[in-house]
Amino acid sequence: MRKSEEPYLSTYLHGKGRMLGMPIAGTFELTARCNFNCPMCYVHLTPEQLKASGKQELTAQQWLSIAQEARDMGMVFVLLTGGEPLVRKDFFEIYDGMRKMGLLISINTNGSMLQGEILERFLESPPFRFNISLYGGNNETYNRMCGTPAYDRVKENIRRLRQAGVEVSLNLSITPYNKDDLEQIYRDAVELDVNVKASSYMYPSVRVNGEQYGCGNRLSPEESAACSVEWDLLRFSPEEFAARATNMVQKVSVEKEGCPVEIGEGISCRAGSTAFWMTWDGRILPCGMMMEPEVYPLKNGFADAWKELREMTARIRLSAECTSCSYKEVCSTCAAVCFTETGSFEGVPEYNCRRTKAIVRITKEKYLERKEK
């Protein structure tokens, strides 16, 4: 299986952007529509839900206009996502327009539509990378999880892209529906020579389901942890896994020095600092998993919206308890997690506390088991 590392230049540009207040990367969520129907999706709306929302997707010209403004302020990297972005009939009007602006484009897709004329067009003008969600290791799992038996088709589409030299990375969401397919998915990734970004943590779908914080069609924290470690055992060599386990245990056992903090830390990722997420209905969020803060570029222009977003994001503080937690160094909790789990950035996400502790415990157990053997 291929391993992926962020290009040095991307890290450099984000670093520079952080100092200068520039938007370096933008995610454009072109639609909430999708030809799949996955239960854990945070954005998918059925045609009925879309109609009931009273909202409309932005036009191609609106997307291009916002992209041009962001580009003029320094944006280099664009991620086109959805829903399923390829269900838009004007997708290539948006894609080609952005390419001509000198933007490096990646596309999130379920991969089911990457054939025929659409595939031909992409082979002529490929994106920097396709991030294809792989939902299972056979047609039955796809049917159960996505409502359509598309495994064979998606795998064949990926194979064609790879044969043409197009860069593909797989996104794997591990859920109750596909947790038994991990070995097969790993074998597929090796066979297709692609990197896999896997996660057994599913955000509560608060953007779709309203204020159902902490709820989701997902594994229990302990099951999620077990799947996470199972994936690590597949993807890492015995030496790499041992190093990971040792490192993890060391990080947790280091006692925090000094007094417990009273105020939690701010956001440390790129969301709202050098990166933004524009929703299908025209709002800009720091990250697509959040519901706030939100700003409105179609009203006052992108530049003002970006400035406002940066200021609002900089004011966010996380829980003081999380900031001084002894598991902090091995916990992947972030602002979006806290908000979607608890309804507040300062809330402590219990699901993630349990999950992180279970990951450390199971990793340690597996490491010791292997060592004894």
Partner 1 sequence: MIIKKELIKREIAGDTILVPVGKTVLDSNGLFVLNELGAFIWERLPGAETEAEICDAILAEYEVSPEEAAADVADFLEKLRQLNII
Which residues of this protein are in contact with partner 1, per CB under 8 A? 7, 9-10, 12-13, 16-17, 20, 22, 74, 76, 99-104, 124-128, 164-166
Smallest distance, partner 1 to C-beta of residue 99, A: 6
Of the pair 70, 336, the CB lying nearest partner 1 is at: 70
CB atoms within 10 A of CB 102: 9
Smallest distance, partner 1 to C-beta of residue 22, A: 6
Of the pair 20, 52, the CB lying nearest partner 1 is at: 20
Show Cβ contacts of residue 57 under 8 Å, excluding neighbours closer than 6 positions. Answer: 30, 31, 32, 33, 88, 280, 281
Contact indicator for 125, 99 with CB cutoff of 8 Å: yes
Residue 343: closest CA among 174, 199, 176, 209: 209
Q: What SS3 class is residue 210?
A: coil
Omega before 221 cis (within 30°)? no
Of the pair 16, 197, the CB lying nearest partner 1 is at: 16
Smallest distance, partner 1 to C-beta of residue 163, A: 12
Smallest distance, partner 1 to C-beta of residue 182, A: 29
CB atoms within 10 A of CB 201: 22
Buried b (16+ CB within 10 A) or exposed e, 42-65: bbbbeeeebeeeeeebbebeebbb
Of the pair 26, 288, the CB lying nearest partner 1 is at: 26
Smallest distance, partner 1 to C-beta of residue 299, A: 27
Smallest distance, partner 1 to C-beta of residue 74, A: 5
Residue 337: closest CA among 267, 277, 283: 267
Of the pair 116, 165, the CB lying nearest partner 1 is at: 165
Contact indicator for 150, 139 with CB cutoff of 8 Å: yes
Smallest distance, partner 1 to C-beta of residue 349, A: 35
Of the pair 90, 167, the CB lying nearest partner 1 is at: 167
Of the pair 32, 76, the CB lying nearest partner 1 is at: 76
Contact indicator for 334, 290 with CB cutoff of 8 Å: no
